[in-house]
A and B are shown apart, each in its own frame.
Chain A
């Protein structure tokens, strides 16, 4: 095989060394972040668990009604009632919290990066290959380095979820801004707009539908990753699936799987409507 007997490039060792270095020097910081974030997540879940499920379901349905109208609201109510009935209430809330926290972080990081990629050529050249990397690297690979930094559990799950789910937010923000017709940019320039006036008064408002489509995609990806992240102790519905696999119980697995599908549909319908507004 090794006709030229070229020695193997020790990419794996280099990566490990780099990670070791980073863990040694920065893990005190990441561990601190991890503890805080873990507390926040536990508090949110506990807070939601404190109320009887029907109140929480009513609240979610109301939110769905406000954003997406009657149909989605009814669907939300029925869906959550089913999940409650299947005795999956707590894992559902855990998964939902993880998805929302991860999405918020992905959006908060992704939109500015998308803006940067749209407005600066250098930004574009750096961010785009980075995103190709993020999107094509198998999602499981992120799980491994997350553990030394954030420990087993929800925060590692969120970290890898943010990395995995951020690209659509970046890409579609960038696309939305680039799609603004050039004559509108020209008009904004002709009246003497500064760069930030142009961004906030013309480019971003016109990009909003596209950005919202990106956020919808981010939510969907976050949900799928949060389920996978059960492997590193993220809990939630993913943990139910994981348990079913380990015990070889197809019924239990299907039940948890259906719960994920219902949650995904609710999140999708609501976030789609947010974009159309």
Chain B
């Protein structure tokens, strides 16, 4: 279900937007409009939606309008035209009071420079959103403590913001947003001010938190790696317009235009692509009651040194190797049931290629792809991984 829906959102900066709006609808460029009217186009008919429970990352360079966009969602910036629906309700027409209520209960925001209140200790900072809702003191202290605990800062309640490192300050920023128990988190370049190591940690932590909380998150960044790592889907923006919307894999594998193509050129694809994109359908497999001779013949026919063994319901049992099967045949065994090696590396569909490459380096055969109940979904072979990584270069 869609939680946020943005429809043809346009923002013109300046006191008299009408002439600029008209020129924009005639398809005039941003620069020409600025030269003729002195009004700057911030957003140009931006449309997309955010599904409930997903992390949607809006990615763009500075000046692309991404910060304007996120501020339109909670109307820190008033949109010039277009609509924003949250839970199906158009929030661009809310009056002042309803807007305050929306900000107080539905939207938690995390800022690039943390924006902690320097005169309040951590507990009071986290408490702020609840305090202005006039919540009762004891309950809001409990909630603030719980939020601090959630981000791993239990015991720091009395510290002042300036005593903390950047990473810790942003945890407080996150706790402050979470304390009001919002449905939606707006994260404006939340990790951009952190150094790379801490940033990576915070990204992982956000993913872990999200797995537990299932909030709807709108995350803004200028860092493509971050966008591809965090986003269930990514919105790419340029000059106030949406260039492409898609999953990280779609953006890497099928860039919409040259701009996106240039962008994704330097991305480490093995981190973004998952096993899913290199999956090959199940080919030849063996069953435990197969006769060793048949199995050997199958391996020879396919030029394989080992073969996966599954049950009739596709549950993976293990592998059999050609030399061991040959030995078993010579011993006169009737089936391969006794010679199955159950120790075999497996991956799931969502595993990134980096993990897969590490496995392929050590494991000679096909890598079985299984679901959580160990049912075989497909296999991965060396070639398909190489092909996926090389795809751009071949083109």
Which residues of A lie under 8 Å from residue B128 when comparing CB positions?
188, 191, 201
Q: Is A5 interfacial (CB-CB < 8 Å)?
A: no
Q: Is A246 interfacial (CB-CB < 8 Å)?
A: no
Q: Are A186 and B132 in contact, CB atoms less than 8 angstroms apart?
A: no
Q: Are B100 and A190 in contact, CB atoms less than 8 angstroms apart?
A: no
**CB-contacts of A179-205 with B (<8 A):** 181, 183-184, 186-194, 197, 201-202, 205
Which residues of A lie under 8 Å from residue B231 when comparing CB positions?
none
Known: A183-B115, A184-B117, A197-B132. A191 touches B76 (CB 8 A): no
From B113, B116, B132, contact of A191 by CB (8 A):
B132
**CB-contacts of B180-228 with A (<8 A):** 180, 186
Stretch of B104-112, B258-266, B280-288, B349-357 lying at the A interface:
B104-112
Q: Is A128 interfacial (CB-CB < 8 Å)?
A: no
Known: A191-B132, A194-B132. A186 touches B111 (CB 8 A): yes
CA distance A112 to B187 in the complex (A): 36
Q: Are A192 and B129 in contact, CB atoms less than 8 angstroms apart?
A: yes
From A188, A190, A201, A202, contact of B107 by CB (8 A):
A190
Q: Is B268 interfacial (CB-CB < 8 Å)?
A: no
Q: Are A191 and B117 in contact, CB atoms less than 8 angstroms apart?
A: no
Q: Are B103 and A191 in contact, CB atoms less than 8 angstroms apart?
A: yes
From B100, B102, B119, B133, contact of A205 by CB (8 A):
B119
Which residues of B lie under 8 Å from residue A131 when comparing CB positions?
none
Looking at chain A, what size class is its interface with the partner chain? Answer: 10 to 19
Q: Is B87 interfacial (CB-CB < 8 Å)?
A: no
Rounded to whole Å, the gap between the CB of B202 and the closest CB of chain A is 19
Which residues of A lie under 8 Å from residue B101 when comparing CB positions?
192
CA distance A191 to B129 in the complex (A): 6
Q: Are A201 and B132 in contact, CB atoms less than 8 angstroms apart?
A: yes
Q: Is A231 interfacial (CB-CB < 8 Å)?
A: no
Proximity string of chain B (128-171) to chain A, C-beta cutoff 8 Å, 1 when within and 0 when not: 11011100000000000000000000000000000000000000
Can you name the residue of chain A whose Cβ is closest to the Cβ of B134? A197
Known: A191-B103, A194-B100, A197-B132. A202 touches B117 (CB 8 A): yes
CA distance A206 to B119 in the complex (A): 7
Q: Are A187 and B132 in contact, CB atoms less than 8 angstroms apart?
A: no
CA distance A201 to B125 in the complex (A): 11
Which residues of B lie under 8 Å from residue A189 when comparing CB positions?
76, 103
Which residues of B lie under 8 Å from residue A197 when comparing CB positions?
132
Q: Are B115 and A191 in contact, CB atoms less than 8 angstroms apart?
A: no
CA distance A206 to B116 in the complex (A): 12
Which residues of A lie under 8 Å from residue B132 when comparing CB positions?
191-194, 197, 201
Which residues of B lie under 8 Å from residue A193 when comparing CB positions?
132
Which residues of A lie under 8 Å from residue B129 when comparing CB positions?
191-192
Q: Are B103 and A190 in contact, CB atoms less than 8 angstroms apart?
A: yes
Rounded to whole Å, the gap between the CB of B60 and the closest CB of chain A is 20
Q: Is B92 interfacial (CB-CB < 8 Å)?
A: no
Rounded to whole Å, the gap between the CB of B236 and the closest CB of chain A is 25
Known: A183-B111, A201-B128. A190 touches B119 (CB 8 A): no
Known: A186-B76, A194-B100. A201 touches B115 (CB 8 A): no
Which residues of A lie under 8 Å from residue B103 when comparing CB positions?
189-192
Which residues of B lie under 8 Å from residue A190 when comparing CB positions?
74, 76, 103, 107, 109, 186
Which residues of A lie under 8 Å from residue B176 when comparing CB positions?
191
Known: A183-B113, A197-B132, A201-B132. A191 touches B104 (CB 8 A): yes
CA distance A197 to B176 in the complex (A): 17
Can you name the residue of chain A whose Cβ is closest to the Cβ of B186? A190
Proximity string of chain A (16-44) to chain B, C-beta cutoff 8 Å, 1 when within and 0 when not: 00000000000000000000000000000
Proximity string of chain B (70-81) to chain A, C-beta cutoff 8 Å, 1 when within and 0 when not: 000010100000
Proximity string of chain A (32-74) to chain B, C-beta cutoff 8 Å, 1 when within and 0 when not: 0000000000000000000000000000000000000000000
Rounded to whole Å, the gap between the CB of B166 and the closest CB of chain A is 14
Proximity string of chain A (142-185) to chain B, C-beta cutoff 8 Å, 1 when within and 0 when not: 00000000000000000000000000000000000000010110
Can you name the residue of chain A whose Cβ is closest to the Cβ of B133? A192
Proximity string of chain A (201-241) to chain B, C-beta cutoff 8 Å, 1 when within and 0 when not: 11001100000000000000000000000000000000000
**A residues touching B (Cβ–Cβ < 8 Å)?**
181, 183-184, 186-194, 197, 201-202, 205-206
Can you add 14 more A-B contacts, CB < 8 Å, to A187-B115, A192-B100? Answer: A183-B115, A184-B117, A186-B115, A187-B116, A188-B128, A190-B107, A191-B129, A191-B132, A191-B180, A192-B101, A192-B102, A193-B132, A206-B117, A206-B118
Q: Which A-B residue pairs are the 10 nearest by beta carbons?
A: A192-B103, A192-B104, A187-B115, A190-B109, A191-B129, A183-B115, A192-B100, A205-B119, A197-B132, A193-B132
User: 6 A-B contacts, Cβ less than 8 Å apart?
Assistant: A183-B111, A190-B109, A192-B133, A194-B100, A202-B117, A205-B119
